[in-house]
Amino acid sequence: MKDVYLFSGFLGSGKTSLLTDTIRQLKEKGLKPAILMNELGKLPFDSQAVDEDIPLKEMLEGCICCTGSEKTEAQLQTLLAGEAFDVLIIETTGAAHPVEALDAVYSPLFAKQLNVKGIVTVVDSLLWLNRQTLPPQVRSLFLEQIRHAHLLLANKMDLLSDDQQAKITYELQSFNPSAAIIQTSHGKCPLSILERLKGTVRTTDVNRARIGEELALSTRLVSFKQSVDKEEFEDWLRTLPSSVYRMKGYVPVLGMKNPMLFQYSYGMVQWLPEYVKMEPVIVMIGEQISQLQVPGSV
Ligand SMILES: Nc1nc2c(ncn2[C@@H]2O[C@H](COP(=O)(O)OP(=O)(O)OP(=O)(O)O)[C@@H](O)[C@H]2O)c(=O)[nH]1
């Protein structure tokens, strides 16, 4: 039997950081992971975080829970038939409902091959503190991801005071009393804690929340025609409404040889120099984003 973990959590909460660190720990232990990754939008940004020697199946444009379980089942079958691995990690898009995403894994087809260890939800602790600012449908998805977790990572602890850290941990435990909770920064969770999980997933009592149906979340690809001034770009970022939840991709910046890796989640910005010339394009995820003018874009 192969252990299966489902990594859940809202857009930008730290799932890919958790994935990268878990892969490192599995490899150190001599275990081979396989990854099923699901991205919202057309570009496989996150898969670049996974080394080439790891079996990886990606589902672009659409999410595991919405595209129907048949497609996920087919991906799983290909992985099981073609690749030797010990542990399967499914990273869902931040807009997926974790229990719905598990549907395919619970197919009778895999009952003898896959041992579902549980749902690990990465919580953006800052967003938890400010959750009342989210529109109701989005907040409901954010809470569902937390409510159904077997293990909760209260992530981004480095951004909070000691008092805030204690408050969040207490509140999360009250909200989901059956989950184990650990405080993390950059998704660093000891493998031994993941391995202790033996979750049985409750499939009843699920409040459905799907992209494009009840949820008005949409994605948009933005291509850059010219380089931007980094400070001016950051000034523009500060003017964005809170309904822009996530951006990631490559932005051409004046004075830099290659477009920089750019991440934006819930008002926080990260820039990293890139040594390869990537296409200057970002994906934007949020509500009412189609009309936003992006500096330097086509
Ligand atoms: N300060 C801080 N930043 C973090 C932490 N964890 C993640 N980040 C940053 O938050 C951003 C999003 O992190 P990811 O790991 O890509 O999040 P994700 O959940 O995979 O994002 P999506 O795939 O868009 O849903 C990146 O810029 C990370 O560097 C943390 O604990 N502290």
Does 138 score more than 50 pLDDT? Answer: yes
Q: What is the mean pLDDT of residues 157-171?
A: 96
Task: Spell out the long-range contacts of 79-83 with Cβ–Cβ below 8 A and sequence spacing 24 or more.
Answer: 79/34, 79/36, 79/55, 80/2, 80/110, 80/113, 82/55, 83/34, 83/55
Give distance in angstroms: CA of 269 to centre of ligand 1.
10
Closest CA to 246 of 127, 136, 120: 127
Tokens of 219: 């994605």
Does 211 score more than 50 pLDDT? Answer: no
Does 187 score more than 50 pLDDT? Answer: yes
Least confident piece of the model among 63-67, 239-243, 249-253:
63-67
The pLDDT value recorded for residue 238 is 94
Give distance in angstroms: CA of 15 to centre of ligand 1.
7
CATH number of the 218-286 domain:
3.30.1220.10
Is 92 touching ligand 1 by the criterion CB < 6 Å? no
Parts of the chain belonging to CATH 3.40.50.300 = 2-195
Give distance in angstroms: CA of 17 to centre of ligand 1.
6
Does 7 score more than 80 pLDDT? Answer: yes
Q: Give domain 2-195's CATH number out of 3.40.50.80, 3.20.20.140, 3.40.50.300, 3.40.50.11290.
A: 3.40.50.300
Parts of the chain belonging to CATH 3.30.1220.10 = 218-286
Give the pLDDT band of residue 64 (cuts 50, 70, 90). Answer: very low
Choose from 57-66, 76-85, 211-220 the range with maximum mean pLDDT: 76-85
Is 263 touching ligand 1 by the criterion CB < 6 Å? yes
Across the chain, mean pLDDT equals 83
Q: Is 267 in contact with 224 (CB distance < 8 Å)?
A: no
245 or 234: whose pLDDT is higher?
234
Q: Is 99 in contact with 64 (CB distance < 8 Å)?
A: no
Does 230 score more than 70 pLDDT? Answer: yes
Does 176 score more than 70 pLDDT? Answer: yes
Does 212 score more than 50 pLDDT? Answer: no
